[in-house]
Structure 1
């Protein structure tokens, strides 16, 4: 039953999650971000591979100029920040995010993959196969 104190306080309704999150962000000297209802463009998600995002508890959510905005459970994780900076060539602006919001936002990676897979299936189904080509060729009128 080892759970973070913040989680227990929120679950028992002893503290408002958003207020607590803002306090934690202030402690880390970063901004708090609530991505609960924000759809993140695929081109932004592509900056960080899903496996790394899940294992490091991070998610990119915006770019501005030469900066990548990164929602993080631990915004002081300098190792992860340096890795993303080196891989992307962008400056990293860390933000604090709650565990629930992070989990919901990380699910956008899976939705993105499912969407791409569905598009590939649709395109493949629309392409004529050899059998279809033969049928089409037989339907073409012959000019004499």
Structure 2
């Protein structure tokens, strides 16, 4: 009897698990944005459409470095554009698209209220 894809068991991997695997593959840390403070002023220094289109959010700025959480850590073009925009080095962290969406203020209002994001 011939096996088809229907016979194969489905493995359902969460978005978070996929992102953690991606982070490991590209040797960048995974970050849970729900427990990380977000620098609102830093976020507002980027056009909202660029943040949304590129699936990233900057969350911390030091003297010479900006930390960003991005859904696709292999997106060198976006990382280069961020460095160019800020004139600073970027430290890349991986996170889920959902976490970026929620941290940027587009997630559920209940979650935003609990984290103090308006």
Alignment of 1:53-132 (within 5 A): 53-107=51-105
Please say which structure displays the higher CA radius of gyration. 1
Shift, 1:44, TM fit: 1.7
Q: Distance in 1 between matches of 2:53 and 2:17?
A: 26
User: Normalising to structure 2: TM-score of the pair?
Assistant: 0.71
User: Normalising to structure 1: TM-score of the pair?
Assistant: 0.59
Indicate conservation of the 8 Å contact 1:47/1:60, yes or no. Answer: no
Q: Which contiguous aligned blocks of 4+ residues in structure 1 show a shift greater than 4 angstroms? A: 17-20
Which protein has greater RCO, CA pairs closer than 8 Å, 6+ apart?
Answer: 2
Aligned residues: 99
Is 1:31 the counterpart of 2:29 in the alignment? yes
Indicate conservation of the 8 Å contact 1:48/1:59, yes or no. Answer: no
Is 1:9 the counterpart of 2:9 in the alignment? no
Indicate conservation of the 8 Å contact 2:19/2:71, yes or no. Answer: no
RMSD of aligned alpha carbons: 2.5
Q: Distance in 2 between matches of 1:90 and 1:33?
A: 21
Q: Distance in 1 between matches of 2:25 and 2:79?
A: 18
Q: Distance in 2 between matches of 1:37 and 1:49?
A: 24
- Residue 109 of structure 2 corresponds to none
**Which structure has more helix as a fraction of its residues?**
1
Q: Give unmatched runs, 5+ long, in structure 2.
A: 1-11, 107-111, 113-117
Q: Distance in 1 between matches of 2:37 and 2:63?
A: 20
Shift, 1:22, TM fit: 2.7
